[in-house]
Amino acid sequence: MIAESPPVADIKSLFFIVIFVLVSVAGCVGRGALDPAGADFSVRGKIGVRQAQDGASARFNWLQTGDRYDIEVWGPLGQGRTRLSGDAARMQVFQGDVLQATGKPDQIMTHYLGWSVPVAILPSWIKGQPDPNFPVTAPRTDDSGRTVSFTQAGWSVALSGFGQGHEVALPRKIVGTNGNRRVIVVVQEYLD
């Protein structure tokens, strides 16, 4: 069920938050501090979203475990700190310990932001690869054999700035474009 519409000022705060929303989460994920133990990955960085003439950016901490994610997003000076938790089927949005909304990720993002991002497949892109559950077209690799671009689920994706993380070099910049929507994720630090 989607929570009642917030005032217009709160929509901008949620805009920053749902930006990664880049980022589907599993229902009932705890509201404590992010715990990277046992995670597939844990990253810190910046995200920017642009749709037509509107755009926003925020900082984030992203913890991914399986198909579940837990993402903290905030604006300048820590303003509007929001937490997104869920998976591809269900997302919860928290401000502090207060549950703001719960429902399908696309509905939640569209309701609060007027747009959505591919939260179900973004974790694969952060790991430098297309999601294995969706068809891929036009894949390109560099001289080192790393995937640098592809098209998936209607998104043109470019990966660059490879740095070390896990056992392989991972991209530091992920750019996804779908029509007039553009999502830029800059990974500043791989935490595990």
In the chain, what percentage of residues exceed pLDDT 90? Answer: 41
**What per-residue confidence (pLDDT) applies to 159?**
97
The answer, yes or no, to whether residue 27 has pLDDT greater than 70, is no
- Domain membership flag for residue 34: yes
**What per-residue confidence (pLDDT) applies to 109?**
72
Note the pTM of the prediction, 2 decimals.
0.77
In the block, tokens 């995937």 appear at: 147
The answer, yes or no, to whether residue 166 has pLDDT greater than 70, is no
Give the best-scoring range by mean pLDDT among 17-21, 78-82, 114-118, 153-157. 153-157
**What per-residue confidence (pLDDT) applies to 29?**
34
**What per-residue confidence (pLDDT) applies to 82?**
84
**What per-residue confidence (pLDDT) applies to 99?**
92
- Domain membership flag for residue 148: no
- Domain membership flag for residue 138: no
What lies within 8 Å, CB to CB, of 188 at 6+ separation is 44, 45, 46, 172
**What per-residue confidence (pLDDT) applies to 112?**
63
The answer, yes or no, to whether residue 178 has pLDDT greater than 80, is yes
In the block, tokens 């007027």 appear at: 114
- Domain membership flag for residue 82: yes
**What per-residue confidence (pLDDT) applies to 35?**
53
Q: What is the pLDDT of residues 112-140, one digit of tens each?
A: 655 667 888 999 999 999 999 999 999 99
- Domain membership flag for residue 166: no
- Domain membership flag for residue 173: no
More confident residue, 154 or 95: 154
Estimate to the nearest angstrom the gap between the alpha carbon of 98 and the chain centroid: 21
In the chain, what percentage of residues exceed pLDDT 70? Answer: 73
- Residues 135-162 have a mean pLDDT of 95
In the block, tokens 């390109």 appear at: 140
Tally the domains of the chain: 1
Residue 85: helix, strand or coil by DSSP?
Answer: strand
Nearest to 157 by CA among 127, 134, 178, 141: 178
Q: What are phi and psi of 107, to 5 degrees?
A: -65, -45
d(CA 87, CA 26): 4
- Domain membership flag for residue 93: yes
- Residues 98-124 have a mean pLDDT of 81
- Domain membership flag for residue 116: yes
**What per-residue confidence (pLDDT) applies to 26?**
28
Structural domain containing residue 17: 8-127+178-186
